A = this chain, B = another copy of it.
Amino acid sequence: LELCSKEMKRSDLIFRQLFDTSGSSTYTYLLGDPASKDAILIDPVLEMVERDLAVADDLALKLKYVLNTHCHADHITGTGAIKKLRPEVKSMISRASGANADIYLLPGEKVCFGERYVEVRATPGHTDGCVTYVSQDNGGMAFTGDALLIRGCGRTDFQQGSPETLFDSVHSQIFSLPETFRVYPAHDYKGRHHSTVLEEKTLNPRLTKTKEEFKSIMDNLGLPYPKKIDAAVPANMVCGIQD
Protein backbone atom coordinates (compact mmCIF):
# COMPACT_ATOMS: atom_id res chain seq x y z
CA LEU A 1 0.00 0.00 0.00
CA GLU A 2 2.84 2.34 0.90
CA LEU A 3 4.55 1.47 -2.38
CA CYS A 4 1.33 2.03 -4.28
CA SER A 5 0.80 5.53 -2.93
CA LYS A 6 4.42 6.39 -3.71
CA GLU A 7 3.95 5.00 -7.19
CA MET A 8 0.93 7.22 -7.68
CA LYS A 9 2.79 10.27 -6.52
CA ARG A 10 5.67 9.57 -8.87
CA SER A 11 3.51 9.67 -11.99
CA ASP A 12 2.66 13.35 -12.25
CA LEU A 13 -0.43 14.58 -14.01
CA ILE A 14 0.11 15.29 -17.68
CA PHE A 15 -1.03 18.88 -18.04
CA ARG A 16 -1.12 21.33 -20.92
CA GLN A 17 -2.60 24.79 -21.03
CA LEU A 18 -3.38 25.87 -24.60
CA PHE A 19 -4.23 29.33 -25.92
CA ASP A 20 -6.71 30.21 -28.66
CA THR A 21 -4.64 32.11 -31.20
CA SER A 22 -7.69 32.68 -33.43
CA GLY A 23 -8.95 35.65 -31.44
CA SER A 24 -11.00 34.80 -28.33
CA SER A 25 -7.99 34.53 -25.96
CA THR A 26 -9.54 31.36 -24.51
CA TYR A 27 -7.50 28.86 -22.54
CA THR A 28 -8.14 25.19 -23.17
CA TYR A 29 -6.83 22.64 -20.67
CA LEU A 30 -5.70 19.09 -21.33
CA LEU A 31 -5.36 16.85 -18.27
CA GLY A 32 -4.06 13.31 -18.63
CA ASP A 33 -3.41 10.37 -16.32
CA PRO A 34 -0.01 8.89 -17.24
CA ALA A 35 -0.82 5.38 -15.98
CA SER A 36 -4.04 4.80 -17.93
CA LYS A 37 -3.47 7.49 -20.60
CA ASP A 38 -7.07 8.62 -20.06
CA ALA A 39 -7.51 12.35 -20.56
CA ILE A 40 -10.04 15.17 -20.39
CA LEU A 41 -10.17 18.47 -22.25
CA ILE A 42 -11.73 21.59 -20.72
CA ASP A 43 -13.17 24.41 -22.89
CA PRO A 44 -11.92 23.61 -26.41
CA VAL A 45 -12.38 26.24 -29.14
CA LEU A 46 -13.72 25.27 -32.57
CA GLU A 47 -10.87 26.86 -34.53
CA MET A 48 -8.21 25.06 -32.44
CA VAL A 49 -9.57 21.52 -32.45
CA GLU A 50 -6.92 20.17 -34.81
CA ARG A 51 -4.15 21.59 -32.60
CA ASP A 52 -5.76 20.22 -29.43
CA LEU A 53 -6.11 16.70 -30.83
CA ALA A 54 -2.52 16.77 -32.13
CA VAL A 55 -1.24 17.68 -28.65
CA ALA A 56 -3.26 14.83 -27.09
CA ASP A 57 -2.17 12.36 -29.78
CA ASP A 58 1.51 13.31 -29.45
CA LEU A 59 1.27 12.50 -25.74
CA ALA A 60 -0.46 9.19 -26.56
CA LEU A 61 -3.49 10.24 -24.54
CA LYS A 62 -6.96 8.75 -24.98
CA LEU A 63 -9.43 11.61 -24.84
CA LYS A 64 -12.40 10.45 -22.75
CA TYR A 65 -14.42 13.57 -21.95
CA VAL A 66 -14.72 17.11 -23.23
CA LEU A 67 -15.96 19.44 -20.50
CA ASN A 68 -17.23 22.99 -20.76
CA THR A 69 -17.21 25.36 -17.80
CA HIS A 70 -20.33 27.06 -19.19
CA CYS A 71 -22.21 27.98 -22.35
CA HIS A 72 -19.66 30.44 -23.79
CA ALA A 73 -20.74 33.66 -25.52
CA ASP A 74 -17.40 34.72 -27.03
CA HIS A 75 -16.40 31.66 -29.08
CA ILE A 76 -17.91 28.49 -30.46
CA THR A 77 -16.93 25.42 -28.49
CA GLY A 78 -14.88 22.72 -30.19
CA THR A 79 -16.90 20.02 -28.45
CA GLY A 80 -19.09 19.08 -31.40
CA ALA A 81 -16.20 19.05 -33.86
CA ILE A 82 -14.17 16.79 -31.56
CA LYS A 83 -17.10 14.39 -31.17
CA LYS A 84 -17.42 14.20 -34.92
CA LEU A 85 -13.73 13.36 -35.32
CA ARG A 86 -13.59 11.10 -32.25
CA PRO A 87 -17.03 9.47 -31.77
CA GLU A 88 -15.89 7.73 -28.57
CA VAL A 89 -15.51 11.07 -26.76
CA LYS A 90 -18.37 12.10 -24.45
CA SER A 91 -19.29 15.73 -23.83
CA MET A 92 -20.10 17.14 -20.41
CA ILE A 93 -21.64 20.36 -19.17
CA SER A 94 -23.55 21.32 -16.04
CA ARG A 95 -27.22 20.38 -15.88
CA ALA A 96 -27.91 23.99 -14.86
CA SER A 97 -26.46 25.32 -18.15
CA GLY A 98 -29.49 24.07 -20.09
CA ALA A 99 -27.12 23.19 -22.96
CA ASN A 100 -26.95 19.82 -24.72
CA ALA A 101 -24.28 17.27 -23.83
CA ASP A 102 -23.86 13.53 -23.47
CA ILE A 103 -23.52 13.79 -19.70
CA TYR A 104 -24.96 16.45 -17.40
CA LEU A 105 -22.97 17.36 -14.31
CA LEU A 106 -24.25 18.22 -10.85
CA PRO A 107 -22.37 20.05 -8.09
CA GLY A 108 -20.18 17.72 -6.03
CA GLU A 109 -19.82 15.11 -8.78
CA LYS A 110 -16.39 13.88 -9.81
CA VAL A 111 -15.29 13.43 -13.40
CA CYS A 112 -12.82 10.52 -13.36
CA PHE A 113 -10.00 9.86 -15.81
CA GLY A 114 -7.71 7.01 -14.83
CA GLU A 115 -6.73 7.35 -11.17
CA ARG A 116 -7.54 11.05 -11.24
CA TYR A 117 -10.58 13.31 -11.18
CA VAL A 118 -11.85 16.84 -11.23
CA GLU A 119 -14.64 17.83 -8.86
CA VAL A 120 -17.58 19.94 -10.06
CA ARG A 121 -18.36 23.10 -8.09
CA ALA A 122 -21.33 25.28 -8.99
CA THR A 123 -20.16 28.87 -9.49
CA PRO A 124 -23.14 30.67 -11.10
CA GLY A 125 -23.38 34.43 -11.56
CA HIS A 126 -21.71 34.98 -14.96
CA THR A 127 -24.25 32.44 -16.27
CA ASP A 128 -26.65 30.22 -14.33
CA GLY A 129 -24.79 27.10 -15.35
CA CYS A 130 -21.17 28.11 -14.69
CA VAL A 131 -19.06 25.55 -12.88
CA THR A 132 -15.49 25.41 -11.61
CA TYR A 133 -13.58 22.15 -12.03
CA VAL A 134 -11.20 21.44 -9.15
CA SER A 135 -8.22 19.09 -9.40
CA GLN A 136 -6.08 17.95 -6.45
CA ASP A 137 -3.06 17.47 -8.74
CA ASN A 138 -0.02 19.76 -9.00
CA GLY A 139 -0.70 21.18 -5.56
CA GLY A 140 -4.32 21.97 -6.45
CA MET A 141 -5.86 23.62 -9.50
CA ALA A 142 -9.20 25.36 -10.06
CA PHE A 143 -10.46 25.76 -13.62
CA THR A 144 -12.72 28.70 -13.02
CA GLY A 145 -14.14 29.44 -16.46
CA ASP A 146 -15.39 33.04 -16.50
CA ALA A 147 -16.46 33.03 -12.84
CA LEU A 148 -13.03 34.19 -11.69
CA LEU A 149 -10.44 35.67 -14.05
CA ILE A 150 -6.92 36.85 -13.14
CA ARG A 151 -7.57 40.16 -11.35
CA GLY A 152 -11.07 40.18 -12.84
CA CYS A 153 -14.23 38.18 -13.44
CA GLY A 154 -16.76 37.49 -16.18
CA ARG A 155 -19.41 40.10 -16.96
CA THR A 156 -22.85 39.75 -15.40
CA ASP A 157 -25.00 41.75 -17.82
CA PHE A 158 -25.98 38.89 -20.17
CA GLN A 159 -26.93 35.21 -20.01
CA GLN A 160 -28.76 35.30 -16.64
CA GLY A 161 -25.85 37.19 -15.10
CA SER A 162 -26.12 38.34 -11.50
CA PRO A 163 -23.36 40.16 -9.60
CA GLU A 164 -24.70 39.10 -6.19
CA THR A 165 -24.76 35.45 -7.25
CA LEU A 166 -21.26 35.66 -8.74
CA PHE A 167 -19.89 37.30 -5.61
CA ASP A 168 -21.31 34.52 -3.43
CA SER A 169 -20.06 31.81 -5.81
CA VAL A 170 -16.48 33.04 -5.87
CA HIS A 171 -16.32 33.56 -2.12
CA SER A 172 -17.97 30.28 -1.12
CA GLN A 173 -16.64 27.93 -3.81
CA ILE A 174 -13.25 29.31 -4.94
CA PHE A 175 -11.86 31.54 -2.18
CA SER A 176 -12.63 28.69 0.27
CA LEU A 177 -10.03 26.48 -1.44
CA PRO A 178 -6.49 26.33 0.00
CA GLU A 179 -4.70 29.60 -0.80
CA THR A 180 -1.91 27.80 -2.68
CA PHE A 181 -4.35 26.34 -5.22
CA ARG A 182 -3.75 27.69 -8.71
CA VAL A 183 -6.47 29.53 -10.57
CA TYR A 184 -6.70 28.65 -14.27
CA PRO A 185 -9.27 30.91 -15.95
CA ALA A 186 -11.05 30.56 -19.30
CA HIS A 187 -9.36 33.73 -20.58
CA ASP A 188 -6.63 36.23 -20.01
CA TYR A 189 -6.12 39.25 -22.22
CA LYS A 190 -2.72 40.26 -20.84
CA GLY A 191 -0.80 37.06 -21.55
CA ARG A 192 -0.87 35.81 -17.97
CA HIS A 193 -1.39 32.06 -17.61
CA HIS A 194 -2.51 31.47 -14.06
CA SER A 195 -2.90 32.97 -10.64
CA THR A 196 -3.51 31.57 -7.16
CA VAL A 197 -6.42 31.65 -4.72
CA LEU A 198 -4.29 33.78 -2.38
CA GLU A 199 -3.53 36.31 -5.11
CA GLU A 200 -7.16 36.72 -6.11
CA LYS A 201 -8.36 36.85 -2.50
CA THR A 202 -5.95 39.68 -1.78
CA LEU A 203 -5.40 41.45 -5.12
CA ASN A 204 -8.50 41.02 -7.29
CA PRO A 205 -9.70 44.62 -7.71
CA ARG A 206 -13.37 43.57 -7.85
CA LEU A 207 -13.67 40.57 -5.57
CA THR A 208 -11.79 42.05 -2.62
CA LYS A 209 -14.63 44.60 -2.31
CA THR A 210 -17.88 44.24 -0.37
CA LYS A 211 -20.84 42.63 -2.14
CA GLU A 212 -22.49 46.04 -2.52
CA GLU A 213 -19.37 47.62 -4.03
CA PHE A 214 -18.94 44.61 -6.30
CA LYS A 215 -22.51 44.95 -7.56
CA SER A 216 -21.97 48.64 -8.22
CA ILE A 217 -18.75 47.94 -10.15
CA MET A 218 -20.38 45.20 -12.23
CA ASP A 219 -23.51 47.24 -12.94
CA ASN A 220 -21.43 50.15 -14.25
CA LEU A 221 -18.84 48.48 -16.49
CA GLY A 222 -20.45 49.96 -19.61
CA LEU A 223 -19.11 47.15 -21.81
CA PRO A 224 -20.15 46.87 -25.48
CA TYR A 225 -22.58 44.19 -26.63
CA PRO A 226 -20.61 40.90 -26.93
CA LYS A 227 -19.54 40.60 -30.57
CA LYS A 228 -20.11 36.90 -31.06
CA ILE A 229 -22.92 36.24 -28.56
CA ASP A 230 -25.73 35.90 -31.12
CA ALA A 231 -23.84 33.23 -33.05
CA ALA A 232 -21.95 31.59 -30.19
CA VAL A 233 -24.68 31.00 -27.62
CA PRO A 234 -27.16 29.17 -29.89
CA ALA A 235 -24.29 27.03 -31.26
CA ASN A 236 -22.94 26.28 -27.80
CA MET A 237 -26.38 25.24 -26.55
CA VAL A 238 -25.98 22.28 -28.93
CA CYS A 239 -22.24 21.56 -28.36
CA GLY A 240 -20.95 23.80 -31.16
CA ILE A 241 -20.88 22.77 -34.81
CA GLN A 242 -22.49 19.34 -35.05
CA ASP A 243 -24.33 18.97 -38.35
Interface residues of A (CB under 8 A from B): 12, 16-21, 48, 51, 55, 58-59, 139, 189-194, 199, 203
Instruction: Report the bound CA distance from A55 to B151 in whole Å.
Output: 11
Instruction: Report the bound CA distance from A50 to B17 in whole Å.
Output: 24
Q: Contact partner of A16 among B18, B139, B193, CB < 8 A?
A: B193
Starting from the known contacts A18-B192, A51-B192, A59-B199, 5 additional A-B residue pairs (CB-CB under 8 Å) come to A19-B192, A19-B193, A21-B189, A55-B192, A58-B203
Max chain B Cβ within 10 angstroms of own Cβ: one of A12, A190, A194: A190
List residues of chain B with CB within 8 A of the CB of A190. Answer: 21, 51
Instruction: Report the bound CA distance from A18 to B191 in whole Å.
Output: 5
List residues of chain B with CB within 8 A of the CB of A58. Answer: 199, 203
The answer to whether A16 and B191 have CB atoms under 8 Å apart is no
What is the CB-to-nearest-CB distance from A141 to chain B, in angstroms, rounded to a whole number? 14
List residues of chain B with CB within 8 A of the CB of A48. Answer: 191
The answer to whether B12 and A191 have CB atoms under 8 Å apart is no
What is the CB-to-nearest-CB distance from A136 to chain B, in angstroms, rounded to a whole number? 16
Q: Which 7 A-B pairs have the closest CB atoms?
A: A19-B191, A21-B191, A18-B191, A17-B193, A51-B190, A58-B203, A18-B192
Max chain B Cβ within 10 angstroms of own Cβ: one of A19, A189, A199: A19
Instruction: Report the bound CA distance from A18 to B194 in whole Å.
Output: 9
A180 — nearest CB in chain B belongs to which residue? B12
List residues of chain B with CB within 8 A of the CB of A194. Answer: 16
List residues of chain B with CB within 8 A of the CB of A16. Answer: 192-194
List residues of chain B with CB within 8 A of the CB of A21. Answer: 189-191
Max chain B Cβ within 10 angstroms of own Cβ: one of A12, A55, A194: A55
List residues of chain B with CB within 8 A of the CB of A139. Answer: 12
